Amino acid sequence: MRFVDAHIHLSEPEYNEKIQWIIENAKQAGVVALVSNSMNLETSRTSLKLAEEHSGVVYAALGIHPWNVNKLAPNELEQTIDFIQQNGANRELVVAIGEVGLDPQYAKRKEQKELQNKAFHDMLRLAEKLALPIVVHSRWSAPKILETLSSYHLSAVLWHWLSSPTELLPKIVERGDYVSEGPPAVFSARIQEVVQLVPLENLLTETDGPVRYYGQPFKDKLTTPAFILEVVKAIAQIKGLKESDVAEQILRNFSNLFNLRI
């Protein structure tokens, strides 16, 4: 079986000096493709560099995470947009704009909300212009994001680690969007409900590493793409399908979403 990690943050410091080991560990586990998502200009540069160094296995998603909007250096948003415009046409390396979105926990004041909204709209316009998919962070903001997306003509949308509200899932599926879930599919009732409700044709697997997980069998372990095997096993159990069928369809979804031949 072949597996994919549609959302990991290889450019984060916790993975420094471990990249080669992570890539080899992924290959040994049958994980054939990873998408390294970015948080700001620095990690966008690093994600692209990793995609260059590990071509055909690591792909880059470039963008500004809503958590980082209020920590941007002067002109960093504009510099990130320029960087993505300069490199976004290289589809062998850059496959998405991400991780982008909204998060009210990091935008409590009016000016913070305005800045976060501006950054999100800038990223959406960029994705539309470059015809790139977007990878969405939607914690406590999914209804607003769904409404916002209707104003853009996007090639594809991946809702990363979508947990609620489940009432939106029919609309998300109807749009043809994808939903990626990770290790919580093994132990979280809420995520298991999402997996049950989303058709397999709209599902992807992720780890969101280096985020750590406290449910078994992941407790006290460095998050690696090899965790995907347990995620696929959980999806198969939830949906009453063969693991091989789940892995094959998710690989197909990954290829379709990111316009890749894997």
Mean per-residue pLDDT for 19-30?
A: 97
| Segment 35-62 mean pLDDT | 98
Phi, psi of 229 (to 5 degrees): -60, -40
CB atoms within 10 A of CB 219: 10
Give the model's confidence band at 21: pLDDT under 50 very low, under 70 low, under 90 confident, else very high: very high
Amino acid, res. 96: A
Q: Are 253 and 202 in contact (CB under 8 A)?
A: yes
Percent of the chain clearing pLDDT 90 (strictly above): 97
- pLDDT of 60 reads 98
pLDDT in tens, 66-118: 999 999 999 999 999 999 999 999 999 999 999 999 999 988 899 999 999 99
| The CATH number of domain 3-258, selected from 3.30.2350.10, 1.10.3720.10, 3.20.20.140, 3.30.360.10 | 3.20.20.140
pLDDT of residue 164: 82
Q: What is the pLDDT of residue 140?
A: 94
Q: In what order do the strands lie in the sheet with 157-160?
A: 3-8, 31-36, 58-62, 94-101, 134-137, 157-160, 178-181, 203-205
Mean pLDDT of all residues in the chain?
97
Confidence band for 262, pLDDT divided at 50, 70 and 90: confident
| pLDDT given at position 124 | 98
Residue 211 has pLDDT above 90, yes or no: yes
**Domain-wise residue ranges, the chain:** 3-258
